[in-house]
Amino acid sequence: MTTSLVLASASPFRRALLENAGLTFSARAAQIDERVLEQPLEEAGASPVDVALTLAEAKARDVSRHFDGAIVIGSDQTMSLGTRVYHKPKDMAEAAEHLLSLSGRMHSLNSAIVLVRDGEVLWRHVSTAHMTVRLLDRGFVERHLKRVGEKALSSVGAYQLEGEGIQLFEKIEGDYFTILGLPMLPLLEKLRELGSIDA
């Protein structure tokens, strides 16, 4: 007998990944303030991986309160370059600053998943992708942002790899699902192991 699944996210991208994989699930956004949780972690010197895991767990625990017996999938992604952790740009000027700071350098996308049932953590996982941005000049960045518009503000790196953002890159090392924010292969393997989906 399979257990009901709940995705602790309002993200249409994460929802589509689970739907495309043929999973039956509910979705509910967690009611947490990510910035409030992140700030003390960053001040304490927590790694970007630890921040992603902590936020994924907080989301799963919050939603788990509303679904007795269900396995809740919490996920979060952090983007880091050295010790700098990036957040979604507030405006187009900050989006341009993000992209120029990534120019010619490799950054990391850390995608965490935490499974929770009845408030108990069943499993934690992080996958990391390494993304190398080609050398960019300010003129190109401004023209690029003008073309993609407000979409640049919806992701932490100010790019969408599935769209024109692919033009920014020289090299990508990592799993496509990790880049999108939900490492599907380890997740599906764990759900099969837990008897939550057909094995």
Return the axis-axis angle of helices 138-148 and 92-102, rounded to nearest 10°. 130
Give residue limits of the domains in the chain: 5-193
Q: In this model, does residue 106 exceed pLDDT 70?
A: yes
d(CA 18, CA 25): 8
Residues near 78 by beta carbon (within 8 Å), at least 6 away in sequence: 48, 49, 51, 52, 85, 86, 109, 110, 112, 156
Q: In this model, does residue 2 exceed pLDDT 70?
A: no
What's the CATH code, domain 5-193? 3.90.950.10
Q: In this model, does residue 98 exceed pLDDT 70?
A: yes
Q: In this model, does residue 1 exceed pLDDT 50?
A: no
Q: Around 40, how many Cα atoms within 13 Å sit in the side-chain half-sphere?
A: 5
pLDDT digits (tens, 9 = 90+) for 44-86: 989 999 999 999 999 999 999 999 999 999 999 999 998 788 9
Residue 21 has a CB neighbour count (10 Å cut-off) of 15
The catalytic residue positions are 76
pTM score of the predicted model: 0.89
